[in-house]
Structure 1
Amino acid sequence: MLVGDLGKNIALKAEPGAAGGLRNLSRLLVGGSMIADRSAWRANDAVAYDALTDAASAAIATLFELADEGILELTQAVREATDIRREVFDVDGYDRDAVDAQRESLEQRTSELRGRSS
């Protein structure tokens, strides 16, 4: 298929039955609208998952701060940090309730840990 754009011809080789990638590209090149497949994630789901990973990072940082201060054994901090990362990876990112519940759990754990350093 040849698509004209600003006086240039761009050759695009389309495969039969291929997903809409080249079809969408050809629409864009000729100034048409590009139709994209919708993601199962909504924008605020991505924000919620980012908040979960931030909560995990804060909890892990607090664990290692406590280990540096001698309040917590390093091996215990490493073990719990590993568990936190595994739990975050195991959360279904498409399940908003699970993402929020895990974030809240991590925020509570971080508060408990910070209470130990005071």
Structure 2
Amino acid sequence: MMHSSRWRVNDTVAYELMQAEAGVLSRRLLVSIRDDDSVADAARRELIGVRRDAARVDGYDRRAVDALAARFRSRSAELSGGSRA
């Protein structure tokens, strides 16, 4: 007997993309921590929040996954001055 999952293949892809966006943002925050003492504490707190939010998002809630990915992407763009490197 086959067991069905609530996940669809494209949901898995969206979740993986959100995780990748979290990774990009985390790297940008780590660079901020390393390069600018004036923002290090705030960047550390934000980094903890990014990791927490990425771990806690309900992977079955596609809207939440997409919204979190968009938030990570937007914040990453802010930190990079609008470019995606």
TM-score, normalised via structure 2 length? 0.85
Change (3 A) 1:72 1:92: farther
Structure having the higher Rg: 1
Instruction: List per-residue Cα deviations over 1:47-74 (Å, max 9, x = no partner).
Output: 1000011101110100111222226533
Equivalent in 1, 6, 20 of residue 54 of structure 1: 20
Equivalent in 67, 74, 77 of residue 33 of structure 2: 67
Q: Letter of the aligned partner of 2:56 in structure 1?
A: D
Query: 1:78 and 1:43 mapped to 2: Cα distance?
Result: 34
**Structure 1 residues 1-118: aligned runs within 5 Å:** 35-70=1-36, 73-115=39-81
More strand by share: 1
Query: 2:67 and 2:26 mapped to 1: Cα distance?
Result: 18
Larger RCO of the pair (alpha carbons < 8 Å, separation 6+) = 2
The number of equivalent residue pairs is 82
Q: Quick check: 74-83 or 55-64, which moved more?
A: 74-83
TM-score, normalised via structure 1 length? 0.63
Q: Quick check: 57-66 or 107-116, which moved more?
A: 107-116
CA RMSD of aligned residues (A): 1.7
Query: 1:76 and 1:40 mapped to 2: Cα distance?
Result: 37
- Unaligned ranges ≥5, structure 2: none
- Unaligned ranges ≥5, structure 1: 1-34
Contact 2:33 2:44 in 1 (8 A): no
Q: Letter of the aligned partner of 1:92 in structure 2?
A: D
